Amino acid sequence: MTDYSDLIRRFFGTGTTIAGMRRVSGGDINEAYLLVLSDGRRVFLKENAKKNAGFFRTEQEGLAAIRKTGTIRVPGVWEAGTAGDRSFLLMEYLEEAPAKKDFWEVFGRQLARMHKADASEWTPGGKYGFTQDNYIGAGGQVNAVRTSWIAFFRECRLEVQFLRALEYFDASGRKAMQSLLDHLDRYLTEPAFPSLLHGDLWGGNYVRGPEGYACLIDPAVSVGHAEADLAMTELFGGFAPAFYDAYRGENEIRPGYSDRRDLYNLYHLLNHLNLFGGSYYSAVMRIVKRYR
């Protein structure tokens, strides 16, 4: 592991040293460590190859965007940068507490309020996108600004992933996918207002924080339709019913959402196809054939 002693002294004081460290779960992409400092404080460190410094820079900026809404907790970040041949992200270590009885209700309300927050500062000259491209897992995510949500989802989400995955599609599959892209406006609707999205909101990308409530981690932020975040929460089994009930109490879920949900999740399944291989092709095609 790279020597981070100078970094620790810079942020925590000249007399502070790393007293201990251990590997912790950091997902499939990064190495992650809990650092115990000489004054007893704990910090979280992610590492990757130097060439992947963009992972951490955009993660830092995504967390900062969510934090700026003032609606839901995210871990604090001290610095994203490089040291030697490694890139790193130095973050707050969130001590998990038992979930409060109203954990899911509060989580639902907080996400709804995040979706209702003004998102215009992140889409200069348009409504949908972000200030820069970032990552969805290990895959690049295009955030070019568009004035139409449907155009953004077609051009910056589905088309990008489809073109990356062409090798998996036979001729009929390519034709069906292109037909879906050509007729996307038959199925999707423009939102009442743009929302800041976490972008990768499944069960592995929130933790219980020290207060016993949800904290968001590992964002893939953009400004889009709030339904896209909700759809992702349902891709791998869904959150508790109380979460969705509380969300509806703060932010409207329009009629027909259940008919659009799988189309939003097609983006994530295409990304999984590109990252993890052909085992996801059948799931992709089930959705494509439904909507084409």
Based on the fold, state whether residues 82 and 198 are members of the same structural domain: no
Which domain does 18 fall in, by range? 5-92
The distance of Cα 73 from the centroid of its chain, to the nearest Å, equals 14
Single-letter amino acid code for the residue at 58: T
Percentages (nearest 5) of helix, strand, coil residues in the chain: 45, 20, 35
Whole-number CA gyration radius for the chain: 20
- Print burial letters for 174-213: b (CB count within 10 Å at least 16), e (below 16): eebbeebbeebeeebeebeebbbbbbbbbeebbebbeeeb
Do 157 and 128 sit in the same domain of this protein?
yes
- Let me know whether 235 and 120 are in one domain: yes
Q: Is the same domain home to 114 and 218?
A: yes
Same domain, 122 and 20: no
One domain for residues 126 and 9 = no
Residue 22 lies in a domain: yes
Q: What is the pLDDT of residue 12?
A: 94
Long-range CB pairs of 170-175 (<8 Å, 24+ gap) are 173/285, 173/288
Label residue 152 by pLDDT band (50, 70, 90): very high
SS3 129: strand
Catalytic residue among 200, 218, 229, 262: 200
Secondary structure E strands in the chain: 18-24, 31-37, 42-49, 77-83, 86-92, 134-136, 139-141, 195-197, 206-208, 214-216, 222-224
Identify whether residues 83 and 128 lie together within a single domain. no
Closest C-alpha to 135, from 58, 25, 228, 49: 58
Residue 214 lies in a domain: yes
The pTM for the full model equals 0.95
Residue 98 lies in a domain: no
In a domain, 20, yes or no: yes
Q: Indicate if 131 and 227 belong to the same structural domain.
A: yes
Residue 1 has pLDDT above 80, yes or no: no
Is 212 inside a domain boundary? yes
Residue 129's DSSP bridge partners are 223
Residue 258: per-residue pLDDT: 95
Q: What is the mean pLDDT of residues 39-48?
A: 95
3-state secondary structure of 238: coil
Q: What is the DSSP letter of 261?
A: H
Percent of the residues in the chain that have a pLDDT greater than 70, as a whole number: 99
How far is C-alpha 43 from the geometric centre of its chain's CA atoms? Answer: 22
- The question of whether 262 is a catalytic residue gets the answer no
Confidence of residue 27 (pLDDT cuts 50, 70, 90): low
Q: What CATH code is carried by the domain that includes residue 129?
A: 3.90.1200.10
Q: Taking Cα atoms as reference points, which of 257, 203, 185 lies closest to residue 226?
A: 257
Identify the domain boundary among 92, 113, 135.
92
- Assign residue 73 the CATH number of its domain: 3.30.200.20
Q: Are residues 115 and 35 in the same domain?
A: no
> The tokens of 211 are what?
């207060």
Is the domain of 165 the same as that of 203? yes
The confidence band for 292, taking pLDDT boundaries of 50, 70 and 90, is confident
Give the three-class secondary structure for 186.
helix
Asked if the structure places residue 97 within a domain, the reply is no
Asked if residue 180 and residue 158 are part of one domain, the reply reads: yes
Mean pLDDT computed over 220-231: 98
**Residue 17 belongs to some domain of the structure:** yes
State pLDDT tens for residues 51-100: 999 999 999 999 999 999 999 999 999 999 999 999 999 999 999 999 99
| Domain-terminating residue out of 71, 92, 113 | 92
Query: What is the per-residue pLDDT for 80?
Result: 96
pLDDT at 26 over 70: no
**Per-residue pLDDT band at 2 (split at 50, 70, 90):** confident
Query: 21-44: string of b/e by CB count within 10 Å (b at 16+)?
Result: eeeeebeeebebbebebeeeeebb
Phi, psi of 157 (to 5 degrees): -120, -75
| Out of 28-32, 41-45, 191-195, least confident range | 28-32
CB 73 within 8 A of CB 216: yes
Residue 197 and residue 64 share a domain: no
pLDDT band of residue 142 (cuts 50, 70, 90) is very high
Per-residue pLDDT, averaged over 150-173, amounts to: 97
**Total of domains in the chain:** 2
Condensed to tens digits (0 to 9), the pLDDT of residues 187-206 reads 999 999 999 999 999 999 99
Q: Looking at the predicted structure, is the pLDDT value of residue 259 above 90?
A: yes
Q: Are 87 and 52 in contact (CB under 8 A)?
A: yes
Of the chain, the percentage scoring pLDDT greater than 90 comes to 94
Does residue 122 lie in a domain region?
yes
Closest CA to 226 of 205, 249, 187, 252: 252
Last residue of a domain, one of 32, 60, 92: 92
